[in-house]
Amino acid sequence: MELILDTADAAAVRELSDCFAVSGVTTNPTIITRSGKTPEEVARQMIKVLHPHQKFFMQVIATDTQGILADAHAIKALQVADGPEMCVKIPVTPEGYKAMKTLSTEKMTVLATAIYSADQGFMAALNGVQYLAPYVNRMDNYGDGVREVSDLLSMLAKAGLTTKVCAASFKNVRQIHELIKEGIDAVT
């Protein structure tokens, strides 16, 4: 299982990586804005503290397919030889789904994000992304987030899809604990 940190704080990543087996870092536009740093600054700092066996996921900002593709290529272009693998997060909007289909033919790790239901995640998996990020706590706000993610895991297994589920948006350790028991691939 992959343990991923959802943060723009490179010092925290360095500290926690010394203690735990950290597989990588995710960020999103809100986390970056709250950090008071620019996306470029965050990328520079994360690339410095992460290693080649780790992944760094950055989210596209554009909302139209062409813009999303341009953002994805710009994120991938930040890749350096001795740095982490640069990966791209794309929200599951209609324009995002189109971009995922296009990028599935390129050598790029894509994570479909802002997933609020098992079905939304399943459709992104069919479009060829490598990771799915269902928002557990936000789903818990109106239902059972853990159950929905558990359904997604079963649907992928039944369909023979190897897409990894990186559960996100946690507000307590119980949610993480329950999903590890369900065999989750990654948590952030």
C-beta of residue 26 within 8 angstroms of C-beta of residue 89: yes
Q: Does 113 bind ligand E4P (CB under 6 A)?
A: yes
Mark whether 181 is an active-site residue. Answer: no
Instruction: Provide the mask over 19-48, with x wherever binding to ligand E4P is found by CB under 6 A and - wherever it is not.
Output: -------x-x--------------------
Taking the complex as a whole, the smallest distance from the CB of residue 166 to ligand E4P amounts, in Å, to 8
From residue 177, how far is each of 77, 87, 101, 168 by CA, in Å?
36, 26, 33, 13
Q: How far apart are CA 126 and CA 161, in angstroms?
A: 8
CB closer to ligand E4P, 61 vs 159:
61
Q: Give the residue, chosen from 168, 184, 186, 187, that forms a contact with ligand E4P under the rule CB under 6 A.
A: 168
Contact region with ligand E4P (CB under 6 A), list: 60-68, 72-80, 133-141, 178-186: 133-141
> Binding of ligand E4P at residue 169 (CB under 6 A)?
yes
Q: How far is the CB of 81 from ligand E4P (least distance, A)?
A: 26
Of 138, 147, 178, 185, the one binding ligand E4P by CB under 6 A: 138
Interface stretch with ligand E4P, choices 73-81, 93-101, 130-138, 152-160 (CB under 6 A): 130-138
Q: Which residues bind ligand E4P (CB under 6 A)?
A: 6, 26, 28, 113, 133, 135, 137-138, 168-169, 188
